[in-house]
Structure 1
């Protein structure tokens, strides 16, 4: 198949297609990870986005049935320089091409991903069309103009019904804005009794569960679009210990009266340096977000605990009076591989206290 990428600035990149034959429209972003493409593809936080992998060779160790971060690919498409259809790894069960075909996702390879990434860095994340069809520039422009990119993907990625995972430890309610499975695995590893709840669960239903703590998960889109979630957080922070991750961190900032803003091209990759102010220690972290917390807007209620070493954006904060804290990065993402897993232990301690 032929493949192409059309950007809203009028640029066209021509390559070859893989995965599903078709056309998709999404927000073009890039990820700098060298490995972890299966986890990236199945991360619900990529809902509505077309992912460009900056590392040139993708698929060389294949994919398997047990490392997905959710039940499907939520991204709109995948762009790579080179795709491997002959993976070499004892855990490999399938190729990336077969994975995309199975999950109806369009892929394009043999593109200049370096040029695409430089364009996104200079102009910011932008709308794009990814296609394996023979389309002219006028048709591509029509696809682009007709498509509406939403910012509230919670209805798509959040669980529809409560899910209970029994454990003999602390009782945790996970508010699912698009939770990654490895977050749940980290709680299971600590023997937590877990209930995963839809993002729009009423506060009264949470009280009935009588949890010892609340985890606000990661997820896609604009944190300001999730009004139900923000209002829920306003209620729970006054009653329970709370730990927020990624989108949960941003929504916590909004719940305490702070503000968030859309970044030019966000942080996506497994190599982002973060400084823990209170521990006087730096970590390499896994990140995936296009929004950030405005530093000054939260200082009345929150203490900044972590900052990004590249651009000084807020990477972590804790409440001045309540057992409530959050981080922008993914402590379950394991680039360290377990350097920042202490945050889950901190959450457990706050519930036990």
Structure 2
């Protein structure tokens, strides 16, 4: 079973539909009900969904992240990506004065990765955010890798040791034609 943590974003439904279309057993739980999870015995991976606001507002998700077994695969999308970086000690700041909703980006500057295949991060993806983590954050000299970035902000990351990946963009969006490769990377981690 994959545990899907919903942070109340309309894009959550797109992610849920994508994973269910692959025939996966998905357990969907709201971020404010995480205290109900007492064991990771039947869980193969954890997904943190997109959502509104700053990661510091999601104390339940931050506490729960610390309980996830280190070797358990983790995927964070948009807010989930920010929660991953914030939980690992990164600083999340405003990217611009207005949200970057619906802006497509083309990535080709990805760095070597342990958990993504060589070309997984090459493609067109869509952003829906106003917050992010800067490339010069000390976290990227410590326990996290910045795999793709634009204008000084990290758009894809992974833990240096454990199978934890995050993307700032929305791979599940129709405006992200390269998105399936990102989601398939997570499926490889849980198989």
Both proteins in one fold, TM over 0.5: yes
Decide which of 281, 284, 288 is 2:128's aligned counterpart.
Answer: 288
Tell me what 1:252 maps to.
84
Provide the aligned length of Structure 1 versus Structure 2: 179
- Among 100, 107, 111, the alignment partner of 1:277 is 111
Which residue is equivalent to 1:172? 2
Aligned residue number for residue 327 of structure 1: 167
CA contact (8 A) 1:261 1:292 kept: yes
From 159, 170, 181, the counterpart of 1:342: 181
Partner of 1:104: none
Aligned 8 A contact 2:170 2:176 in 1: no
Distance in 2 between the 1:348 and 1:203 partners? 26
* Alpha-carbon offset, residue 269 of structure 1: 1.1
Match of residue 105 from structure 1: none
Aligned to 1:202: 34
| Alignment of 1:306 onto 2:163 | no
Cα offset, 1:242, TM superposition: 0.3
* CA–CA distance in structure 1, aligned partners of residues 48 and 38 of structure 2: 13
1:268 corresponds in structure 2 to 101
User: Retained in 2: the 8 A contact 1:234–1:256?
Assistant: no
Q: Which residue of the partner structure matches residue 65 of structure 2?
A: 233
* RMSD (Å), alpha carbons: 2.0
Q: Which string of whole-angstrom CA distances, capped at 9 and with x for unpartnered residues, describes residues 182-212 of structure 1? A: 1011101221101111102335615267210
Give the Cα separation in 2 of the matches to 1:250 and 1:237: 19
Cα offsets for 1:126-166 (capped at 9, x unmatched)? xxxxxxxxxxxxxxxxxxxxxxxxxxxxxxxxxxxxxxxxx
Q: Distance in 1 between matches of 2:3 and 2:83?
A: 16
Q: Which moved more, 1:257-266 or 1:319-328?
A: 257-266
Q: Structure 2: how far apart are the matches of 1:301 and 1:341?
A: 26
Corresponding residue for residue 126 of structure 1 = none
Structure 1: tracts of 5 or more residues without a match? 1-170
Seen in structure 2, the aligned counterparts of structure 1 residues 224 and 237 have a Cα distance that, compared at 3 Å, is farther
- Structure possessing the higher radius of gyration over alpha carbons: 1
Within 5 Å, give how 1:1-353 maps onto structure 2. Answer: 171-179=1-9, 180=11, 181-202=13-34, 205=37, 207=39, 210-236=42-68, 238-264=70-96, 265-275=98-108, 276-278=110-112, 279=118, 282-295=122-135, 296-299=137-140, 300-308=142-150, 311-337=151-177, 339-352=178-191
Specify the SS of the correspondent of 2:67: helix
Identify unmatched segments of 5+ residues in structure 2.
113-117
Q: Which runs of 4+ in 1 moved over 4 A?
A: none
Relative CO higher for 1 or 2, CA cutoff 8 Å, sep ≥ 6? 2
Q: Deviations over 1:298-336 (max 9, x none)?
A: 21111111112xx13100100111011110000011224
Per the normalisation by structure 2, the TM-score is 0.85
Alpha-carbon distance change, 289 to 239 in structure 1, aligned in 2, over 3 angstroms = same
Conserved 8 A contact 2:76-2:167:
yes
- Rounded to whole Å, the distance in 2 between the matches of 1:350 and 1:229 is 21
